[in-house]
């Protein structure tokens, strides 16, 4: 019971309060890698503790502990003994709910992976007719200046000929460094994780939508930092503006324009990365964020295991 309440409180804290605090802090922009980790931990541990809370209703920790010590005796009879018949129904419903949530999460993940793989495979196949290069840079004829990458193995970077004309050589290097950072940093996987969490739990708590949007924005900043090692950061900002000036507007300024403005500001006046003290403090917080819900379950379970192994059932 205590574990259930604690887990619910933690899930709510991470799901509703956490995103507002984190969205308002400035440090993720200074160390975007840490920022991505923070958002994924916040949304992941909110989902995890919510799930564990439901699970502890289905299988109370004392029973689970007993079961681990002597698992073959944790049968329906034992559960009935613990609950009485009425609350067994509640436990059963909670068990079904927990299983459904896990099922839904797995379904989202698998369908996401399928959809992404299909888009990439089709894209790679069409590219194969345009370029004999199996890896490296592909230049396509097109009036819209654009650059993008197809994550995967091998990943590919594609630039249109009009983008080549819109960029100075050092800016082109920077754009390529940016895309290479996406590929080597497996950024698509990070964005994908956040997207799957949003698709599964997005309607439950605001943290999941926030997390997906921020991870998308932060991986761009990580890649921009790589670009800024190829040429001065303000010139990277210039390159962003040159390639944003496409003939086909595809996004509303309100949605992604503010993200682009954040990128541009950051490039115009690069912030100092976090010092080691703050970095360690943030890392420690992340570890606690993951460990807390797990501990909330593990400690009573471990205690119950000890009780069950040493002295035989004292709870009836």
Partner 1 sequence: MRGFGDLEAVIMDRLWSWKRPVTVREVLEDLRAYRDIAYTTVMTVMDNLHRKGALTREKDGRAWRYQPVRNRDEYAADLLSTVLDEAGDRGAALMRFVGGMRPSEVDALRRALAERQGRRRRT
**Least distance in Å: CB of 211 to partner 1?**
13
CA distance 258 to 264: 10
Q: Does 109 bind partner 1 (CB under 8 A)?
A: no
Based on the number of CB atoms within 10 Å of its own CB, is 122 exposed (0-12), middle (13-18) or buried (19 or more)? exposed
Contacts with partner 1 in 195-214 (CB under 8 A)? 195-196, 212
Contacts with partner 1 in 227-286 (CB under 8 A)? 237, 240-241, 243-251, 253, 256-257, 260-261, 263-265, 268-269
User: DSSP character for 270?
Assistant: P
Q: Which two tokens stand for residue 308?
A: 């069950």
Query: Using alpha carbons only, how large is the chain's radius of gyration in Å?
Result: 25
CA distance 80 to 75: 9
**Least distance in Å: CB of 157 to partner 1?**
10
Among 18, 65, 192, 300, binds partner 1 (CB under 8 A): 192
Angle, CA of 218, 219 and 221, to the nearest 5°: 65
CA distance 218 to 221: 5
Query: Of 130, 129, 133, nearest to 155 (Cα)?
Result: 133
Residue 198, phi-psi category: left (phi > 0), alpha (psi -120 to 50), beta (remainder): alpha
Strand-pair partners of 81? none
Which residue's CB is nearer to partner 1, number 66 or number 156?
A: 156
* Per-position x/- string for 212-231, each x denoting binding to partner 1 as judged by CB under 8 A, each - no binding: x---x---------------
Q: Does 151 bind partner 1 (CB under 8 A)?
A: yes
Candidates 41-49, 98-106, 150-158, 287-295; binding stretch for partner 1 (CB under 8 A): 150-158
Contacts with partner 1 in 156-185 (CB under 8 A)? 158, 160, 175, 178-179, 182
Which residue's CB is nearer to partner 1, number 7 or number 207?
A: 207
**Least distance in Å: CB of 87 to partner 1?**
41
Are the C-beta atoms of residues 247 and 163 closer than 8 Å to each other?
Answer: no
Based on the number of CB atoms within 10 Å of its own CB, is 273 exposed (0-12), middle (13-18) or buried (19 or more)? middle
**Least distance in Å: CB of 15 to partner 1?**
20
Binding site for partner 1 (CB under 8 A): 112, 115-116, 119-120, 123, 126-132, 134, 140-142, 144, 146-151, 158, 160, 175, 178-179, 182, 187-188, 191-192, 195-196, 212, 216, 237, 240-241, 243-251, 253, 256-257, 260-261, 263-265, 268-269
């Amino acid at each position: 019971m205590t574990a259930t309440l604690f887990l619910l409180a933690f899930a709510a804290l991470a799901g509703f309060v956490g995103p507002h605090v984190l969205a308002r802090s400035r440090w993720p922009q200074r160390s975007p890698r840490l920022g991505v980790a923070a958002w994924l931990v916040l949304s992941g541990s909110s989902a995890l503790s919510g799930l564990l809370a439901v699970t502890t209703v289905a299988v109370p920790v004392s029973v689970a502990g007993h079961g681990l010590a002597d698992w073959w005796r944790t049968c329906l009879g034992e559960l009935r003994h613990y609950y009485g018949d009425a609350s067994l129904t509640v436990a059963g419903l909670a068990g079904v709910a927990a299983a459904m949530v896990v099922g839904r999460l797995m379904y989202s993940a698998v369908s996401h992976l399928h959809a992404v793989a299909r888009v990439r495979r089709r894209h790679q196949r069409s590219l194969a007719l345009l370029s004999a290069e199996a890896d490296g840079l592909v230049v396509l004829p097109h009036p819209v200046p654009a650059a993008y990458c197809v994550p995967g193995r091998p990943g590919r970077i594609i630039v249109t000929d009009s983008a080549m004309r819109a960029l100075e050589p050092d800016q082109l290097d920077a754009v390529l460094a940016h895309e290479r950072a996406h590929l080597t940093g497996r950024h698509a996987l990070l964005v994908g994780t956040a997207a799957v969490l949003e698709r599964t739990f997005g309607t439950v708590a605001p943290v999941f939508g926030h997390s997906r949007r921020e991870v998308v924005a932060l991986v761009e900043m990580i890649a921009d930092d790589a670009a800024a090692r190829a040429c001065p950061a303000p010139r990277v900002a210039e390159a962003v503006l040159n390639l944003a000036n496409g003939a086909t507007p595809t996004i509303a300024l309100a949605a992604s324009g503010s993200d682009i403005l954040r990128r541009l500001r950051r490039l115009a006046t690069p912030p100092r990365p976090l010092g080691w003290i703050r970095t360690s403090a943030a890392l420690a917080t992340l570890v606690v964020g993951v460990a807390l819900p797990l501990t909330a379950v593990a400690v009573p379970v471990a205690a119950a295991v000890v009780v069950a192994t040493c002295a035989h059932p004292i709870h009836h």
